[in-house]
Amino acid sequence: MAAEGGGKEMNEIKTQFSTREGAYQLLTHSEYSRPNRVPFNSQGSNPVKVSFVNVNDQSGNGDRICFNVGRELYFYIYKGIRKAADLSKPIDKRIYKGTQPTCHDFNPLTATAESVCLLVGFSAGQVQLIDPIRKETSKLFNEEGLLSSQNPANSPSGTVV
């Protein structure tokens, strides 16, 4: 292949370039497919938590991912780091009004392709058991917020839990 001055190939694929209209940059598939509605908080006061589970389904793609952004909780099929999830098609999406999810985790022992238990902890102390595949909400624990890791007086031993 012929080379120009500087030793670069003529048919080199550029990942960024500038024109008088503006600068252009090649985006990764995950950046390109990210929905515009997902808020970004640069102050970091609302950390994003991520949980994974494998449901061992027949298709061989049994990995599922759950993550929260602010007051929203998303549940998707996870295709690995090489293929981005289709963020326009969540299996389940929940928006909470009074409180926000701060942590969550799956029960991998009971997870199946038809049902998966997910415990979600909230900023006001509640804990909710949901099934994002069946789109069911089973139970809400500590609804009154009596148990709290922030208040040592509520702990039986007087120490922070």
Residue 53 near residue 106 (C-beta atoms within 8 A): yes
Per-chain mean pLDDT for the chain? 76
Which pLDDT band, with edges at 50, 70 and 90, does 151 fall under?
very low
d(C-alpha 6, C-alpha 33), whole Å:
36
Residue 15 near residue 26 (C-beta atoms within 8 A): yes
d(C-alpha 121, C-alpha 113), whole Å:
23
More confident residue, 40 or 82: 82
More confident residue, 32 or 102: 102
59: pLDDT strictly greater than 80:
no
Q: Which tokens belong to 43?
A: 């102050």
Which pLDDT band, with edges at 50, 70 and 90, does 131 fall under?
very high
2: pLDDT strictly greater than 80:
no
> Where are the chain's structural domains?
47-141
130: pLDDT strictly greater than 90:
yes
What integer is the mean pLDDT of 43-47? 60
For residue 113, how many other CB atoms are within 10 A of its CB? 13
Q: What is the pLDDT of residue 129?
A: 93
159: pLDDT strictly greater than 90:
no
